Chains A and B, each alone.
Chain A
Amino acid sequence: MNSRAPAGAVLSREPWQGTPILDAHAHLGPYNRFFIADPSGAAMLRVMDRCGVSGAILSSMLGVELDADAGNEETAALCLAHPSRFAGYVVVNPWQDPAGQLERWRDHPAFVGVKLHPDLHEYPLDGRRYRPVWEYAEVTGRPVLTHTWAGSQFDDLDHLDRVATDHPRARILAGHAGVAPSSFGRAIDVARRHPRVVLELCGSHNHGRAIAEMVGAVGPGQVAFGSDFPFIDLRMSLGRMLFAELADEERAAVLGGTMASVLSAGHAGGTALLDRFRRGPAH
């Protein structure tokens, strides 16, 4: 176990120069329920550069909270403008033609996976309207990032367990890993049962202690850094990760290696993002 903390490097205020970082859970744009100081793609890039983050995989908040079609267009535009920094998740809203959304964006170079938000869309993760998503994930190898929230009637960890059981070839990123510290044990159990389930770390209640426990329980290959920015500031989640008591190779995997492997397994998409990631932090 490496207990060396980067306090000195952080206190120097210089961006991260270590192993490259991929943010597996990002968004774009404003959100109706609260004010975000600057949710633009330009501001996101600025924060990434400030912190030394190589790339982020994002979904538009417009797509998540209102209009999947318009939001996916917004995601595509940003990713095409900065293909080495951003790649997109296609937002699939179960009430807005799921199969049509997948078909429309299937071969678009901006997209590398699918984003589901069962809580906001008030539809269960294991409901039949999501079937095209799981078929898509199993055929293409592309990941599905789903919001998970322990106790939710729509995306509790039991829902996750069921879809992972029914679709064993699907790569599923469990967004927030259930979010509550009391749920992390159940998230670990699900990941242990399903080797293609990856625990994603963003949320308001995570801690370096819990991250180390997750990595110890399921291995760094099933844990991925995400921030939820610009919903939450990227530095909240990154701070937990950089100081967590992890071995160097574990930290490297969680910060980006795991997500790079997930993306590499999918068919096409994200090439420039992965190229930059593999060249390292100097690029």
Chain B
Amino acid sequence: MTEHQRGMSEQLRLLDVAASLGRHPAHEVGSGSPAAMISTLDRYGIAEAVVAHTVATHHEPAAGNARVLAEVADEPRLRPCWTVLPPTCGELPGAAELVTQARAGGVGLFTVRPGSHGFDLAGPDTAPLLEAAAEHGMPILVDAPETDWAAVEDAAAAHPELWLIVSEVGYRELRRLCGLLERRPRILLCTANLSGHLALEFLVHRFGSHRLVFGTGQPVRDPGEAVLRLLWSELDDADVRAIGGDTMRGLLATSRTTVEVA
């Protein structure tokens, strides 16, 4: 290993922001246990992961959110992500209380599934949740297939302080995406299934590496996609480190008043 290689390996600590524990109804992902996740992280050279739980994403958010806290409690390489809902039906605590409880539990990231869970990302129902998240510097991750670009734009416009991370963008969306990124500086992209040819390099050149965060979409997605895509990109080491974990660690660790990502 050359000095450069040694230096890169030592400094780069990949943080996967798009991972999940739990079983899956439509993919062969095994037990979804924390131990299995750690084994996978080791295999792919990923230092740590922010994990949601399929009990929350595919069954009942309240139960799944409690489950993820319990399952990562003894595993410092896993950080919890809560799956959240608009407060309309009272399934979760009110927005401000939800964020407070999340912070108390060490939760640094929310995820929403508007399509699967039957609500709209933008609009009055979800506004209190987005407002509370924005106020407390809690980023929210949404998979692109769970919503539409107009809703993403409307939500970002209505909550300009909100860090909104869009994942699973695919390879067909750059014409829609570039204007959005230009207009909404707190929209970030996750690298899970960000699969356009040279799109990663194009986006970094156009918008800066601070607009992208590393994620794999595991276990449904193969982590090798995102790992190889970032590590064997044409980006320099500083950009790879920023995308690989540095930017997201800043968002996870700090409150709104001290976050400086741009």
Interface residues of A (CB under 8 A from B): 3, 5, 7-8, 10-15, 33-39, 43, 46-47, 50-51, 181, 204, 206-209, 229-244
Chain A to chain B contacts (Cβ below 8 Å), 17 pairs: A5-B44, A7-B45, A12-B5, A13-B240, A35-B175, A35-B196, A36-B198, A37-B199, A38-B202, A207-B221, A209-B222, A230-B198, A232-B197, A233-B197, A235-B229, A239-B225, A243-B224
What residue in chain A is nearest B205 (Cβ atoms)? A37
* Contact of B8 with A by CB under 8 A: yes
B-chain residues with CB within 8 Å of residue A244 when the two chains form the complex: 224
Which of B61-69, B109-117, B154-162, B231-239 binds A? B231-239
Which of B81-89, B135-143, B166-174 binds A? B166-174
A-chain residues with CB within 8 Å of residue B44 when the two chains form the complex: 5, 7, 243
Contact between B224 and A208 (Cβ–Cβ < 8 Å)? yes
Contact between B195 and A206 (Cβ–Cβ < 8 Å)? no
What residue in chain B is nearest A43 (Cβ atoms)? B198
**Contact A7/B43 with A208-B222, A238-B228 known, Cβ cut-off 8 Å:** yes
What residue in chain B is nearest A237 (Cβ atoms)? B225
Contact between B193 and A204 (Cβ–Cβ < 8 Å)? yes
B-chain residues with CB within 8 Å of residue A7 when the two chains form the complex: 42-45, 227
Give Cα distance in the complex from A8 to B227, angstroms: 11
B-chain residues with CB within 8 Å of residue A235 when the two chains form the complex: 225, 228-229, 232-233
Q: Give the number of A-B contacts (CB < 8 Å).
A: 131
Question: B37 to chain A: closest CB distance in Å?
Answer: 15
What residue in chain B is nearest A44 (Cβ atoms)? B197
What residue in chain A is nearest B201 (Cβ atoms)? A37
Question: A26 to chain B: closest CB distance in Å?
Answer: 10
B-chain residues with CB within 8 Å of residue A11 when the two chains form the complex: 8-9, 12, 45, 231
Per-residue CB proximity of B1-13 to A under 8 Å, as 1/0? Answer: 1100100110010
State which residues 16-60 of B face A: CB under 8 Å: 27-28, 42-45
Contact between A13 and B197 (Cβ–Cβ < 8 Å)? no
Question: A183 to chain B: closest CB distance in Å?
Answer: 13
B-chain residues with CB within 8 Å of residue A37 when the two chains form the complex: 174, 196-199, 201-202
Question: A184 to chain B: closest CB distance in Å?
Answer: 11
**Contact A240/B232 with A14-B5, A34-B171 known, Cβ cut-off 8 Å:** no
Question: B224 to chain A: closest CB distance in Å?
Answer: 4
Contact between A240 and B197 (Cβ–Cβ < 8 Å)? no
* Contact of B215 with A by CB under 8 A: no
Give Cα distance in the complex from A34 to B177, angstroms: 11
